[in-house]
Structure 1
Amino acid sequence: MKPTGRDVDPQDRVFGQRVQKLRKEQGRTQAEFAAALGKTSSWMSQVERGIQPVQRMDLLQQIADGLGVSVQQLRPDAEGSGPAQHPAPLSLSNDLDETRRLISGHPALHILLADSGPGPEVSRSIEALRKDVNDLWELTHAAQMAQVSALAVELLPELERAVRAEPNKAQPELFLLLSRAYQALSAAFVRQDEADAAWVAADRAIFAAERSGDPLHVCAGVFRMTHAFVRLRSLGQAEHAAQIAIDALKAQSDRPPQALSVLGALHLALALVHARAGARTEAKEEIAEARLIAAELGENRNDFNLEFGPVNVEIQAVSIAVDLGDAGEALDIGLALDAEGLSPERQGRLLMDLGRAHAQRRHGGEALDCLLRAEALAPETIQTHQAARAAIRELVLVAGANASHALLELADRADALD
């Protein structure tokens, strides 16, 4: 995991401050400079705060070139920068960048172009691959993105080879594992605001699910794609994707609990779409539909890693209420919830939204407390979520000269004031 503000390497902190100083002298925003490097704003923010070490010489050279300085000027402790230098081993703290590169091309083109003959051998059993996919989801729910990337860059190529190498009888199970792995990546990319990569991963998840013969996993993939569209601000596409899947599921005469889970989750996704569009009535109608389905289920489940159930519906209701500016309603719902049984990511999301609601009501102390507790549970939720950063920025502006040290430190960690 990334180091916290208390154990950042001093050299990384000094390096980050130097990058920030040079960038600002050129009048460039973090977003502009990050885009020029092919990186995300959140990654650039982490570099400048010293919590994202830059250890690869090729990446160090790229940053120096982007700033118009030499590597030695940028990092005097670097051991040379000529073309003969070999990149240092990739650090796990590169988050999802390596995984993003992995899914940017065809996943198994070398196999398709290989000469005719026996297919590639599968080195591990389906049971071992299934365990890795389960681990990938565990890491995603825990928001441990560096570990997600480290596992994914090994697992995805292996799964892509396996679905092309195994006999037909094993292929459905392997395609299902491949779909689940891509769904986990889509969820992870959404949480890091990498919406275009989330879209690619969701699309591959849907294709693999269809090949597996499991239509409910296809619908779960559509849920992931809907969230990618929301992050892309393509609300029309998000609404269309979710509604098509909802209509198809409702047309089924028999809906087992797993189908109810994905149907309810899609209603929640559609509620988010309407809330982002400012369609208050439609958003509340979708929440009401999800509540009915959750009541029919009668329990909190985790089918398709959706964590759907009565508690998660109310967590989403809190978020929707805050998005619509109904802070009082959000607090009434959220403060009565017990989310202990859900993942750290879900618990962190509830606390973040309660913090946003308190901020809307100008409850500065309560807002800060909720946001700090959310950060302790799921740091990525606070560091990469635009709504969280906006709430922190508002708290600092309202407090003015009376802003507490804890609030200013949180704003610095979330890069909310840049």
Structure 2
Amino acid sequence: MKPTGKDVDPQDRVFGQRVQKFRKERGRTQAELAAALGRTSSWLSQVERGVQPVQRMDLLQQIADELGVSVQQLRPGAPVEPGASSQTPAPLSLSNDLDETRRVLSGHPALDTLLAGQSDASQERPLDVLRGDVDDLWDLTHSGRLAQVSTLSVDLLPELERAVRTADNEDQAQLYLLLSRTYQALSAAFVRQDEADAAWVAADRAIFAAEQSGDPLQVCASVFRMVHAFVRLKALGQAEHAAQTAIQALEEQGARSPESLSVLGSLHLSLALVRARASARAEAKEEIAKARAIAEQLGENRNDFNLEFGPVNVEIQAVSTAVDLGDAGEALDIGLGISVEGLSPERQGRLLMDLGRAHAQRRHGGEALDCLLRAEAIAPEIIQTHQAARAAIRELVLVAGPNAPRELLELAERADALD
């Protein structure tokens, strides 16, 4: 039985959209490409919608050949078949994963609609379909599949920007909400690749779209993304002001619902990060304590606004804060007792990275390397773009000297930690 729209795997959906994008760029209809593949138009339509998975390597290669692209361009991370042409482009490196999205972000995604004054409403997709794409975008972001984030967003973002300007009043608020969630996801993705300037732009647009949607909690969730962009920019004063402003507003309104408590707790965690980066030990621990009290009030791990807030996430942030403050023993005491079952790869990778840093501070070379390698396997961009992870790897190499194990040197090379 083929999956329904709700059951479509995000990876199959993104693959299908990539096939459709390359097909249209080459001016080929579904019927033409399907005939060249020896398939029906209905089959190809299902592939492009993600309903029909393409799993056989020979069929994947056939589609790539017909579109004049590499298998890796269609499905990043797919194995290269023996004997493949040396002209086949290599997969994009991690640092290039979001380049196309960055270019879209740099312009005005709906300028053509503004100039035309109207658009063809018959071309607009239903709200539930767009909502499914935004949900997929967040799933991909949490999973660290940033190349697929880019592929999905380069078409989705302009589509939403056009739709909010041409929709009926009854749909406009929901479209602005989807647009805000899209920009929030992109801000989170850019932070993970250490592209803080792009993360700032995306967060700012998320705040505006959330305000237009009439959802103040989405505004505060967007501010959370802004705080993390400021931290990556080392603009700690701006990060502090943004977090405190949102916290004060929520407290004045008497945040009591689970959703508002999730946002409030997440903002306290972001402020703890700011305090720790400023070496304000007492203030950082105070913010952790406030977040911990809110998490206890919630009593469960939640994912409101894709913030993943709850008791476990607070302890993960407590580990990170302790490491930033140089309290390696405390970080290990907390971290080794955390169960990350059910959390996203990003959260799991972040905890392992911080445990690796804590072990490195204690000169536990073997344990540090093990944690960092496990973090890389789960969320490679954390190791390759996070300055603290690279600093820990560099320190491990220096301490080991000529006796540095091969696995450590290879990790250092992948993370570009020795430059």
Q: Same fold (TM over 0.5)?
A: yes
Aligned to 2:406: 405
Number of equivalences: 336
Distance 1:112 1:127, change over 3 A: same
Unaligned regions of 5+ residues in structure 1, if any? 2-54, 57-76, 80-87
CA distance, structure 1, for counterparts of residue 273 and residue 140 of structure 2: 25
Distance 1:98 1:89, change over 3 A: farther
CA distance, structure 1, for counterparts of residue 151 and residue 119 of structure 2: 30
Aligned to 1:266: 267
Distance 1:166 1:309, change over 3 A: same
Distance 1:92 1:213, change over 3 A: farther
Q: Structure 1 residue 123: deviation in Å? A: 2.5
Distance 1:354 1:117, change over 3 A: closer
Query: What's the secondary structure of 2:416's corresponding residue?
Result: coil
Q: Can you list the C-alpha shifts for 1:44-89, whole angstroms capped at 9, x where unaligned?
A: xxxxxxxxxxx99xxxxxxxxxxxxxxxxxxxx889xxxxxxxx99
Aligned to 1:148: 149
Opposite residue 137 of structure 2, the aligned amino acid is L
Opposite residue 211 of structure 1, the aligned amino acid is Q
Distance 1:376 1:89, change over 3 A: closer
Distance 1:118 1:225, change over 3 A: closer
CA distance, structure 2, for counterparts of residue 254 and residue 183 of structure 1: 22
Q: Tell me whether 1:109 sits opposite 2:111 in the alignment.
A: yes
Q: Structure 1 residue 124: deviation in Å? A: 1.0
Distance 1:92 1:333, change over 3 A: closer
| Alpha carbons 1:311, 1:338 under 8 Å: kept | yes
CA distance, structure 2, for counterparts of residue 112 and residue 136 of structure 1: 26
TM-score normalised according to structure 2 size: 0.77
Q: Structure 1 residue 107: deviation in Å? A: 2.3
CA distance, structure 1, for counterparts of residue 234 and residue 268 of structure 2: 18
Opposite residue 113 of structure 1, the aligned amino acid is L
CA distance, structure 1, for counterparts of residue 119 and residue 146 of structure 2: 36
CA distance, structure 2, for counterparts of residue 305 and residue 385 of structure 1: 21
Query: What's the secondary structure of 1:113's corresponding residue?
Result: helix
Q: Matched residues, percent identical?
A: 75
CA distance, structure 2, for counterparts of residue 303 and residue 101 of structure 1: 29
Aligned to 2:28: none
Opposite residue 317 of structure 1, the aligned amino acid is A
Equivalent residue runs for 1:155-166 within 5 Å: 155-166=156-167
Q: Structure 1 residue 253: deviation in Å? A: 3.0
CA distance, structure 2, for counterparts of residue 305 and residue 313 of structure 1: 15
CA distance, structure 1, for counterparts of residue 345 and residue 381 of structure 2: 11
CA distance, structure 2, for counterparts of residue 343 and residue 325 of structure 1: 26
Aligned to 1:97: 99
Equivalent residue runs for 1:250-329 within 5 Å: 250-329=251-330
Aligned to 1:346: 347
Equivalent residue runs for 1:193-232 within 5 Å: 193-232=194-233
Q: Structure 1 residue 160: deviation in Å? A: 0.7
Q: Structure 1 residue 166: deviation in Å? A: 1.1
Q: Can you list the C-alpha shifts for 1:167-193, whole angstroms capped at 9, x where unaligned?
A: 000011111000000000000000100
Q: Can you list the C-alpha shifts for 1:229-265, whole angstroms capped at 9, x where unaligned?
A: 0000110000000000000000113520000000000
| Alpha carbons 2:295, 2:311 under 8 Å: kept | yes
Query: What's the secondary structure of 2:106's corresponding residue?
Result: coil
Opposite residue 235 of structure 1, the aligned amino acid is L
Q: Can you list the C-alpha shifts for 1:370-414, whole angstroms capped at 9, x where unaligned?
A: 001101111111111111010000000000011001111111111
Query: What's the secondary structure of 1:321's corresponding residue?
Result: helix
Distance 1:122 1:250, change over 3 A: farther
Q: Structure 1 residue 296: deviation in Å? A: 0.2
Opposite residue 226 of structure 2, the aligned amino acid is M
Aligned to 2:369: 368
| Alpha carbons 1:246, 1:266 under 8 Å: kept | yes
| Alpha carbons 1:327, 1:361 under 8 Å: kept | yes
Q: Structure 1 residue 119: deviation in Å? A: 5.8
Distance 1:92 1:138, change over 3 A: farther
Query: What's the secondary structure of 2:107's corresponding residue?
Result: coil
Distance 1:289 1:111, change over 3 A: same
Q: How large is the RMSD of aligned CA atoms in angstroms?
A: 2.1
Query: What's the secondary structure of 2:288's corresponding residue?
Result: helix
| Alpha carbons 1:297, 1:309 under 8 Å: kept | yes
Equivalent residue runs for 1:147-186 within 5 Å: 147-186=148-187
Opposite residue 259 of structure 2, the aligned amino acid is Q
